[in-house]
Amino acid sequence: MAGGLELLRSNPGFRAYFGARITSVLGGAVAPVALAFAILASGGGGTGIAVVLGVEYTVWLLLMPLVGVLTDRTGDLRRMLIGSQLGAAACQGIEATLILTHTATVLTLALVAAGGATFASVSYLTGTRILPLVVDKTLLTRANATMRTVQMAIAAIGPAAAGIAVAGIGPGWCIAWDGLSFIGSAWWFTRLPRTRPQNPPEASAERPTPAPPPARFIDGWRAFRRRRWLLALTLSEAFVQGAFMSAFIIGPLYAQTSLSGSRDWGLINGSLAAGSAAGAWLASRITIHRAGWTRCLGAAMLALGPATMGAGLPLPGVIGGMLLGAFMAGPAANTQQSIIQIKIPNHLLGRVQANALLVESVPVPLAYLLVGAGADHVGAQHVIGACALVMAVAALAPLALRQVRGLDLDPEAPTVPEVAAIAT
């Protein structure tokens, strides 16, 4: 973390970006819990929660390709970031007003959540593109690891703090606090330097041309698809995350049937958060030379926690496996996050990142359906064990490609012999 502190001290642009993101996370840590209790208070029940969160996630995901095109076209990323935070603050202000005046319904909350998801997608992709313009590419992994360390630490205490806050002041005021955090984030973004993206030289095979959005989307998809290392890692991440999230979806059922219920499940979740925070700290302390190997082996280690559950180990073994797996996966998560920013030309970064997120997310709903049905038929423990196996195989599969085995985080090093492949 010492390197991250030095980066914060010496780089005002990164300090502003870090301040904005962490301020937003401080508000966002309480928002999901507050929203869920607000829906329950409005009479929406479990179905209402599923509808609102489903609408929010679907809008966020489906807008990614369009927002990627928009992000790559803009000449003022700083202004776009500020606007996205103010728009999100407005949405949370409307949501808080609906809740505090007892006029909230599932429909109105879903509509506001869709608006918030729109601004969230703009914020995410614009931030992905602006960070490499603020921080030298040789320091990007350290910058991402520094932010992730603090974010994971907040995530470790966020749910408990949110529960106390909702019980103390009510969900409406918690949502209002989230809105204020977006205003604070916007203020931090005003302190970013006015860095404008540079177009590539005329000789570049990937130079942007004035083209309608559909053509620009196609160019971004080609840039994503023709990098075999990126396609392999993205498909791998889709199966790893789909299986991991599915294991946690049926985790409460596993805790109820194989352990002592909600208390034990809370301890398992806490160990995951603590291991993730420690893993992010580890990523900030080491220099990664073999990015492909680091990402694949680390992602495979994340399967250790679900594997201990599938093997029927007692609670201390599961907690230990979750802690160790999340800790060892920290550098892998940071590598996965940083490598696109380092290897992809900035004028394509929004579209390529959007396509990667879209591909990663597609299997998740289907995986939820499969594990739910499987748990009802063969039991949660066996299904979680199968999820662990899928995670390990999917994480290691990209190593079959020479391009992945040779991947590093050097901005100057070629990822693969892809001079022809990157033409769009």
pLDDT attached to residue 140: 83
Across the range 18-32, mean pLDDT stands at 88
pLDDT attached to residue 412: 54
Query: 309 falls in which pLDDT band (50, 70, 90)?
Result: very high
pLDDT attached to residue 266: 76
pLDDT attached to residue 52: 83
pLDDT attached to residue 419: 38
Any alpha helices (H) in 74-139, and if so which ranges? 77-100, 106-134
Q: Are 299 and 236 in contact (CB under 8 A)?
A: yes
pLDDT at 157 over 80: no
Is residue 373 classed exposed, middle or buried when 0-12, 13-18 and 19+ CB atoms within 10 A define those classes? Answer: exposed
Is residue 412 classed exposed, middle or buried when 0-12, 13-18 and 19+ CB atoms within 10 A define those classes? Answer: exposed
**What is the rounded distance in angstroms from the CA atom of residue 89 to the CA atom of residue 334?**
28
pLDDT tens for each residue of 333-354: 888 888 888 888 888 888 888 8
pLDDT at 202 over 50: no
Closest CA to 172 of 102, 223, 219: 102
pLDDT tens for each residue of 27-47: 888 888 788 888 888 887 767
Query: 189 falls in which pLDDT band (50, 70, 90)?
Result: very high
First to last CA, the chain: 40
Query: 20 falls in which pLDDT band (50, 70, 90)?
Result: very high
pLDDT attached to residue 385: 93
pLDDT at 126 over 80: yes
pLDDT tens for each residue of 368-421: 778 878 887 888 889 899 999 999 999 999 999 999 999 887 765 555 444 333
Top pLDDT among 2 and 108 is at 108
Ranking 165-169, 202-206, 237-241 by mean pLDDT, the lowest is 202-206
Domains of the chain (ranges, CATH numbers) = 2-137+154-190 (1.20.1250), 213-405 (1.20.1250.20)
Query: 118 falls in which pLDDT band (50, 70, 90)?
Result: very high
pLDDT attached to residue 65: 84
pLDDT attached to residue 325: 94
Q: Are 40 and 101 in contact (CB under 8 A)?
A: no
Closest CA to 395 of 307, 280, 277: 307
> Token match 């909600």: residue?
262
Highest mean pLDDT among 62-76, 198-212, 288-302: 288-302
